[in-house]
């Protein structure tokens, strides 16, 4: 157990039974990011993708008195230049417990994991308007790269493109 600024917080690996609370945090983050209507994943998919036979992500959980108050969801990716890398998909702390140190504990635990894995990089994204998060990452001297564009295909685009490519 590690103590944050004001509260006692335990950081541990996540487990399947945590998925309902994790899903609620994901919903809360979507509202914060003004994208509540964009969450497509179900709680069942979340559980299977993280804890099924072909798990594709890892999870750290921050608990206060057996209540999940935050998560760091990450996975291993591969860089042709750097090799194995850790990608932090989301660092979420429920609003009531922001700015008391839970996010710091989660982030620092992930840094330790990345170092133990001898990762070539640890990467994540932050929205350009999320000043509290940007300030948090700057405290660690993180490189905020404005040089690269984010590129993606959404599910619908993938389905349409796939049909055209047959």
Query: Is residue 5 over pLDDT 80?
Result: no
Among this protein's residues, is 23 annotated catalytic?
Answer: no
Assigned domain for 120 exists: yes
Assigned domain for 150 exists: no
Instruction: Please give the tally of structural domains in the chain.
Output: 1
Domain that holds residue 10: 2-126
Which residues is 2 bridged to in the sheet?
9
**CATH number, residue 97:** 3.40.630.30
Assigned domain for 76 exists: yes
Assigned domain for 11 exists: yes
Buried b (16+ CB within 10 A) or exposed e, 91-100: bbbbeebbeb
Residue 96: both structure tokens together? 């009531």
Phi and psi, residue 107, nearest 5°: -60, -45
Assigned domain for 24 exists: yes
Residue 50: both structure tokens together? 């993280």
Assigned domain for 157 exists: no
Query: Is residue 2 over pLDDT 70?
Result: no
Interatomic CA distance for residues 32 and 94, integer angstroms: 10
Catalytic member of 57, 87, 137, 140: 137
Span 139-151, pLDDT tens digits: 999 999 988 888 9
Assigned domain for 45 exists: yes
What pTM, to 2 d.p., does this model score?
A: 0.91
Span 13-61, pLDDT tens digits: 999 999 999 999 999 999 999 999 999 999 999 999 999 999 999 999 9
Assigned domain for 13 exists: yes
């Amino acid at each position: 157990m590690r103590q944050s600024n004001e509260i006692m917080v335990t950081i541990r690996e996540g487990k399947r039974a945590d998925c309902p609370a994790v899903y609620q945090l994901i919903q809360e983050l979507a509202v914060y990011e003004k994208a509540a209507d964009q969450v497509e994943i179900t709680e069942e998919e979340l559980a299977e993708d993280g804890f099924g036979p072909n798990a594709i992500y890892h999870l750290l959980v921050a608990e206060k008195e057996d209540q999940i108050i935050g998560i760091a969801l990450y996975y291993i990716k591969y860089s042709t230049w750097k090799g194995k890398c850790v990608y932090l998909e989301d660092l979420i702390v429920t609003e009531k417990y922001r700015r008391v140190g839970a996010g710091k504990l989660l982030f620092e635990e992930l840094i330790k994991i990345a170092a133990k894995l001898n990762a070539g990089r640890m990467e994540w994204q932050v929205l350009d308007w999320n000043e509290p998060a940007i300030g948090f990452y700057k405290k660690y001297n993180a490189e905020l790269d404005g040089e690269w564009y984010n590129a993606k295909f959404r599910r619908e685009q993938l389905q349409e493109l796939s049909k055209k490519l047959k």
